[in-house]
Amino acid sequence: MAMTASRKPVGVFDSGIGGLTVVKALMRELPGESIVYFGDTARVPYGTKSRSTIVKFSMENVEFLLRFGVKCIVIACNTSSSWALPTLRRYFKVPIIGVIRPGARAAVQQTLTKRVGVVGTEATVRSRAYEMEIKRLDRSITVVSQSCPLFVPLVESGWLNGAISAQIAATYLQPLIRQRIDTLILGCTHYPLLSPVIQQAVGPEVKLVDSATQTAAEVKGLLAWSEWLSTSRAHPRHRFFVTDEPDHFTDVGRRFLGQAVRSVERVNHR
Amino acid sequence: MAMTASRKPVGVFDSGIGGLTVVKALMRELPGESIVYFGDTARVPYGTKSRSTIVKFSMENVEFLLRFGVKCIVIACNTSSSWALPTLRRYFKVPIIGVIRPGARAAVQQTLTKRVGVVGTEATVRSRAYEMEIKRLDRSITVVSQSCPLFVPLVESGWLNGAISAQIAATYLQPLIRQRIDTLILGCTHYPLLSPVIQQAVGPEVKLVDSATQTAAEVKGLLAWSEWLSTSRAHPRHRFFVTDEPDHFTDVGRRFLGQAVRSVERVNHR
């Protein structure tokens, strides 16, 4: 079992393009692993949709990745991790790792004042997933959450700086500043691209936490513990599948992955 | 045939909620007609997606509405009208009316300086559908287009006024003002809700055109000409179907319809 699994790829899915930030971290932490990425670009975003739709789409995404015999699945999408992870774990035997627990753990380690902020999509914030996970780790921590529905379109538009982005960030983050947080979880894969304006809005004392690095470390731990780490000397193979045409994914993806996105194929979900 | 058709409902589809502005206009123009509305809220938005995905989703939407024996179909969504209408007309016999031609016609009638602006989603602007339709009606008109990807999330967030919305509108509309347009087509069902900030950005001399009223008039013309107008004395029945949970649709829909949205059902597209 261990020998076979080590050769299998790691599966990653996301509602769209943002999960490439997690792929970037995985490539850095686990340079020998092959990755199969699935981005549901035809139905993106998930963050404005309801629990049942998020769960349904996530189930379909896992089923797609299982066709590639993946040894584990990483849910790069915060919204999907927030709402679908428990259901997915009940339905599927493959180990599934979400981004909520790693992000929550990083924040718990970072905070000194025990006041943590969370920003995310409407669905992620509504789920209270980060809050519950943080409280589970340390009940004495106060968590303040804020949904930021304009952040994703800002990033997708490439408006990463400038007065408008700064003002929107200030508007969203004002309530968290008033709550004197010292740590802020960027609870959406798009948000790290807005780090400069977010950091400016909350001030230099507040530490920003994004889940990607921590999640990659957790995947590494899982694979090492299970003796599923790749032992192959061949170059790993990375494949990307999307449900809409690949052009936009390839263009904008570079910004998230930090390098050109190669081998992108379109698939039909039905 | 005419007798039978008159009793059938009018079908309307949209990528989500915005098409309710067209339903509002239809209810006003055709108070005796029953309406079946389909909003693809699980896969919204269409405006950031590719042609092939927009066409595929639109085909499925028409197939859904045909189950209700609709006498005609109105595509309330500008993005879908821009990209899918020719294909839909090839595939289906039912008369299908989009919002592009009515909007273009209204703008051509309004403009005095023959300089027309168009704002819409990325997909609508990329399609150049308004431009081609206006040129077909009057080749001497100059058309300047601008995609406004943040307008839909602004409306969905309820940020209809205030400094941020005003600044975003000013940023998008600056190039159109420089081109000295005297008429501006609001080429997306969400945009009429931003009319005050848009009007402020372009100045009081520029006339804003939205397609809803003009489209409803065209539907009325079609039904009258075909002798398909409802002759029933019974109250018309309006039914709304959505692919995501109905709660958000019902809540936000009131803003678009101008009255409570009743009889909303969830359907599964597959």
Catalytic residue flag (residue A77): yes
Q: Enumerate the residues of chain A whose CB falls inside 8 A of the CB of residue B154.
A: 150
Please indicate, yes or no, whether residues B171 and B181 belong to a single structural domain of this protein: yes
pLDDT band at A3 (very low <50, low <70, confident <90, very high): very low
Please indicate, yes or no, whether residues A31 and A162 belong to a single structural domain of this protein: no
Structure-token match 């273009």, residue found: B104
Q: Enumerate the residues of chain A whose CB falls inside 8 A of the CB of residue B57.
A: 42
Q: Is A239 exposed, middle or buried (0-12, 13-18, 19+ CB in 10 A)?
A: middle
Asked whether residue B3 carries a pLDDT value surpassing 60, the answer given is no
Mean pLDDT, rounded, of chain A = 95
Smallest Cβ distance to B164: which of A48, A53, A167?
A167
pLDDT value for A219: 97
Note the pTM of the prediction, 2 decimals: 0.94
> Domain boundary residue among B210, B231, B257?
B210
Report the alpha-carbon distance of residue A24 to residue A33 in Å, rounded. 12
Q: How far is CA A193 from CA A48, A152, A159, in A?
A: 20, 10, 10
Please indicate, yes or no, whether residues A193 and A222 belong to a single structural domain of this protein: no
Q: Enumerate the residues of chain B whose CB falls inside 8 A of the CB of residue A49.
A: 41-42, 244
Q: Show the domain range for A79.
A: 2-99+213-266
- The count of CB pairs under 8 A between chains A and B is 66
Q: What is the pLDDT of residues B145-193, one digit of tens each?
A: 999 999 999 999 999 999 999 999 999 999 999 999 999 999 999 999 9
Asked whether residue A2 carries a pLDDT value surpassing 60, the answer given is no
Catalytic residue flag (residue A148): no
DSSP character at residue A99: S
Report the gap between the CA of B30 and the closest CA in chain A (Å). 33
Please indicate, yes or no, whether residues A168 and A197 belong to a single structural domain of this protein: yes
Of B189, B212, B248, give the one whose Cα is nearest residue B41. Answer: B248
pLDDT value for B232: 82
Please indicate, yes or no, whether residues A218 and A88 belong to a single structural domain of this protein: yes
Q: Is the dihedral of CA A14, A17, A21, A24 positive or negative?
A: positive
Q: What is the pLDDT of residues A100-122, one digit of tens each?
A: 999 999 999 999 999 999 999 99
Q: Residue type at B50?
A: S
Tell me if the bond preceding A45 is cis, omega within 30° of 0.
yes
Find the catalytic residue in A25, A65, A74, A77: A77
Please indicate, yes or no, whether residues B25 and B156 belong to a single structural domain of this protein: no
Q: What is the pLDDT of residues B14-73, one digit of tens each?
A: 999 999 999 999 999 999 999 999 999 999 999 999 999 999 999 999 999 999 999 999
Report the alpha-carbon distance of residue A68 to residue A30 in Å, rounded. 19
Tally of domains in chain A: 2
Say yes or no for a CB contact (<8 Å) between B168 and A163. no
Strands of B142-147's sheet in order across: B142-147, B115-120, B183-187, B207-210
This complex has an ipTM of 0.92
Of B196, B188, B186, B192, give the one whose Cα is nearest residue B161. Answer: B196
Asked whether residue A232 carries a pLDDT value surpassing 90, the answer given is no
Please indicate, yes or no, whether residues A223 and A158 belong to a single structural domain of this protein: no
Mean pLDDT, rounded, of chain B = 95
Q: Residue type at A10?
A: V
> Domain boundary residue among A210, A231, A255?
A210
Please indicate, yes or no, whether residues A141 and A236 belong to a single structural domain of this protein: no
Q: Measure CA B103 to chain center.
A: 9
Please indicate, yes or no, whether residues B44 and B56 belong to a single structural domain of this protein: yes
pLDDT value for A6: 85
The CATH number of residue B161's host domain is: 3.40.50.1860
Q: What is the pLDDT of residues A111-158, one digit of tens each?
A: 999 999 999 999 999 999 999 999 999 999 999 999 999 999 999 999
